Amino acid sequence: MSEQENPIRDAIAEAIAGNEVILFMKGTPEMPACGFSARTVAALQSLDTSFAAVDVLPDPRIRGELSALSQWPTIPQLFVRGELVGGCDIVLEMLETGELAALLGAEGEAGTIQTPAVAGGGALQIENRL
């Protein structure tokens, strides 16, 4: 298969371009499958940010193609306006300094998340067609 004929990578690129804020994660915002994904979701929700989410677990090719496209090896991966922000540690650091709120145009201030538990709402589920 040539590089131009890669439907999974094309779908990932389209999802990134088509959503202002998108999180590629393990599980869903309502049921994260790892602590890093749960903490990243909680950080976004603490700023009352709407975001799309894609579960990378159903098909291992999603994770491989995402990492090849982003040049970032770990999950979760947060993209804002088509640009990779980073993974959990970077998102949490940016939350603490106020950079995440500024990037997202959120009404929040610098701070920390109170709990990594996911409490519904905030995420727009996109159909995982990757």
pLDDT in tens, 30-51: 999 999 999 999 999 999 999 9
Q: 115, 110, 93: which is closest to 35 by C-alpha?
A: 115
Residue 110 has what pLDDT?
A: 52
Question: What percent of the chain has a predicted confidence (pLDDT) above 70?
Answer: 78
Domain 7-125: CATH class, spelled out: alpha beta
The beta strands (E) that lie in the chain are given as 21-25, 51-55, 77-80, 83-86, 123-125
Query: What mean pLDDT value characterizes the chain?
Result: 85
SS3 49: coil
Distance from the Cα of residue 39 to its chain's centroid: 11
For 92-120, the pLDDT digits (tens) are 999 999 999 999 997 655 554 544 443 33
Domain boundaries, the chain: 7-125
Segment holding 40, helix H or strand E: helix 35-46
pTM: 0.82
